[in-house]
Amino acid sequence: MSLDFSGRVAIVTGAGGGLGRQHALALAARGAKVVVNDLGSTTDGSGGSSAAALAVVDEIRAAGGEAMANGCSVTDVAGVQAMVDEAVAAWGRVDILINNAGVLRDKSFAKMTLEDFRFVLEVHLMGSVVCTKAVWPLMQAQGYGRIVMTTSSTGLYGNFGQANYGAAKMGLVGLMQTLSIEGQKHDIRVNCLAPTAATRMTEGIIPQAVLDAMQPEAVVPAMLVMASQDAPNRTVLLAGAGSFEAAHVTMTQGVHLGMGPDIDSRLAAVMDTVTDRAGERVPVSGHEQGQHEVGKAMAANGG
């Protein structure tokens, strides 16, 4: 697997600090030209400053790399398009998009306002959609693209007080599932990264001793693999503290009960069998669920 990014152009959102900064530095160190995007807001999305993005650009240039700063919000459609246009004007193409920008507005669901729910979805989910939509036609035309969505263990498995964040992050997995299918014929590979890393978004949430083991640098190798020429496609890669895992949305073998007035009670009686994970599989697309169910029905009816 080649991890040389010479000649590649990458956009990294939320790259003014934390994990995004490490992503940008690593790509630049391996030869990529990097757009360092960061609104410069606080963790809840308020405020804004270009200082953080400019500082990362200065780091990259001091090390001999090429980079430019951009301070638009990932939710600003016109701003994002202008960012992509600027990258193309300077470097001719965009090969890699790392959707990393995000915010936190944590509260239990009972106390969370709909405004805070919508805002977190807007930044994480729609922000990734906006950025991906802006680079998609370029990647189709050039027959090459690597897109990394930043999901989370909260989306995959849940965490108290983060219903908005979890919904947004699992939404990115769903987005990846379809885009990885649609982009395949153009060699656009779309994957998800679920990082466990200590950043300003985790300060005050996790004990310091644990934070010390969760350096953002430990997550970067997973991003590099998914952004590389030989990247996988449609993979959810988990990374943290030097460990790496994969997550899958699976389907059990289940049971066929047919139709009738008593199916609800019969289903309730065999739920242990329905949820039994022995023989579960990862469908290659959503159609496979329907094929599985119809196949069972036809077999039961002698078809």
pLDDT digits (tens, 9 = 90+) for 258-271: 999 999 999 999 99
Mind telling me the catalytic residues?
Answer: 165
Query: Domain extents for the chain?
Result: 9-247, 263-300
Spatial strand order in the sheet of 145-150: 67-70, 33-37, 9-12, 96-99, 145-150, 188-196, 236-240, 243-247
Mean per-residue pLDDT for 235-244? 96
120-145 residue pLDDT tens = 999 999 999 999 999 999 999 999 99
What mean pLDDT comes out for the span 221-242? 97
| Report field, pTM of the whole predicted structure over 0.75 | yes
Q: Is the dihedral of CA 28, 214, 50, 44 positive or negative?
A: positive
Residue 1 banded pLDDT, cuts 50, 70, 90: confident
- Tell me: pLDDT of 201 over 60: no
pLDDT digits (tens, 9 = 90+) for 37-54: 999 866 655 655 689 999
Confidence of residue 22 (pLDDT cuts 50, 70, 90): very high
**Across residues 289-301, what is the average pLDDT?**
93
Specify the CATH superfamily of domain 9-247: NAD(P)-binding Rossmann-like Domain (3.40.50.720)
pLDDT tier at 204, thresholds 50, 70, 90: low
CA angle, 103 then 24 then 20, to 5°: 15
